[in-house]
Structure 1
Amino acid sequence: MESHSVLMLLNPLDLVTLFVFFACWWGYAFYAQYNSKRRSCLVSVLHQFRLAWMSRLLRRDNRIADASVMANLERSSLFFASSSLLIIAGLFTAFNYSEKAIGILSDFYLVSPMSQQEWELKIIVLVAIFSYAFFTFTWSVRQYNFCSVLVGSAPLATERGIEDSERELYAMHMAQICSLAANQFNYGLRAFYFAMAFCGWFLGPYFCMAASVMVVAVLYRREFRSKTFKTLSRGLVMKSHAS
């Protein structure tokens, strides 16, 4: 499908819808990444907990529990990576049965009428979103693998000849890799959320725009205003007082 013909398929309202959708997604991603380095949020608080975890890991010789936690984190990313592949396979099936799918959806009152080309374009965009999610989750898995290697090669608590400053630096590196893996997992989840918002376009452009704004509001509340974030922040303060 040529770019010129794609633009011909979209009316001005559809173009505005696409702009609002990607502006919400990319705009919030930039906002969250920028503010995570300048104010307290889930990302920054959890990084401090990971740093404390890795510091304590270096003080003990038995690290079976740490390896188990790392494996659980890795499995979460693997689950969503596998889910992304299954969704992509389902979308290709929907792409091949465009006429039948449009005929079924046309019976629903809320679904706006669309041509076969419009249907295929929307499916292609969804495939692109979930493909991005797949690559993001698999990169998260690899980074958790790297972190597992760092945990396995970490110096033992009883090992001599290693300065405390070296242990502290090693813990910082492990925590940083673990946080990078968690960030990739977070990006993949955002792709899932905004894919759900994009599905609102099958009902109509206004549904898609409203859903995109709602996803931004939900993500903002969870990362900057949620009870979970506030509880973790209080736990971080208590930890600093205890130390």
Structure 2
Amino acid sequence: MSTLISTLFPLICYLAYNIIVPQVEKLRPSLSVIMNMQRRRWVANATLRESPFDAILSGNIMGSVSFLASTAVLLILAIFAVFGQIPALMETLNSLSLDRVYTLVDVQLHLVVMLAMFVLAFFAFTLSLRQFNHFCIMLGAIDHVGGTTDEEIDAITRMNALGAKNFNSGIRAYYFSVASVAWFISEWLPIVACILTVMILAHREFFSSAHRTAASAAVIAARRQQEKLKL
């Protein structure tokens, strides 16, 4: 039973994190929420200029997402390859003398969980890539002559934010997949690794220097906008 819990724990933590964090964000804005404010500024400013600058930025983002999606495919294929070499894997694990017994079912189940996490990462990255592609189309459809309404800006911003949300989800799947590797050392180590991963992710989202910097930039931008309205 303990082996089953430690095997499933990284996957459970990943799914729970994606459910709980949006609820926490209602009480305290995360770095992602703050960056969504900057995304709106980006779209609003893009409506005022006709240059390839925004296309270059979008292309860079899509390139990063595409790279990670391709990496997820390679990792999925690697795990499938490991399924064909399980006897050799078990022999290697037993030779490490880690004071534990590996059964065939335990190893297969753990590989299935790791496979599931990389598949989830792949779907998250490809969905993110698709949404950023939609964002590029919506950005290119902006009417620089007739003007753009706030509703249009908000809609384009939401599409960009959706792409970022799924990108972050794919990254988190990578993080928890790394924690699941600790299972091969000790059946309790992945639990410790996942708890540390959650703490690190929570710190980055809510308490990091990047969070404080982004919040400061958002406050400065809001003040400038108020000053413009007063003028």
Q: What TM-score results when the alignment is normalised by the length of structure 2?
A: 0.92
Q: Out of 72, 75, 78, which is 1:87 matched to?
A: 75
Unaligned runs of 5+ in 1: 1-11
Superposition deviation, residue 18 in structure 1: 4.3
Counterparts of residues 149-164 of structure 1 (less than 5 Å)? 149-156=137-144, 159-160=145-146, 162=147
Matched, 1:27 2:23: no
Equivalent-residue separation in structure 1 for 2:37 and 2:126 (angstroms): 24
Could you say what secondary structure the match of 1:171 adopts? helix
For residues 1-243 of structure 1, what are the structure 2 equivalents within 5 Å? 12-18=1-7, 20-62=9-51, 64-110=52-98, 112-156=100-144, 159-160=145-146, 162=147, 166-243=148-225
8 A contact 2:28–2:206 mirrored in 1: no
Question: Conserved in 1, the CA contact under 8 Å of 2:69 and 2:122?
Answer: yes
Taking only the aligned residue pairs, the percentage that are identical comes to 25
Distance of aligned partners of 1:210 and 1:181 in 2 relative to their CA distance in 1, 3 Å threshold: same
Partner of 2:228: none
Q: Which amino acid aligns with 2:22?
A: Q
Deviations 1:16-68 (A, max 9, x none): 32464344222222221112244221111000000011011111122x11011
Task: Give the alignment's Cα RMSD to 1 decimal.
Answer: 1.5
Please list every run of 5 or more consecutive structure 2 residues that lacks an aligned counterpart in the other structure: 226-231
In the alignment, the residues of structure 2 paired with residue 180 and residue 223 of structure 1 have an alpha-carbon distance, to the nearest angstrom, of 17
Give the alignment's TM-score, normalised by structure 1.
Answer: 0.88
Task: Number of aligned residue pairs: give it.
Answer: 225
* Distance (whole Å) between structure 2 residues aligned to residue 33 and residue 181 of structure 1: 16
Mapped contact 1:105–1:111 kept (Cα < 8 A): no
Task: Give per-residue Cα distances to partners, 1:97-126, cap 9 Å, x unaligned.
Answer: 011111112222347330222211111111
- Alignment partner of 1:112: what SS? coil
Tell which has more relative contact order, 1 or 2 (C-alpha 8 A, sep 6+).
Answer: 2
Please give the secondary structure, in 2, of the residue aligned with 1:220.
Answer: helix
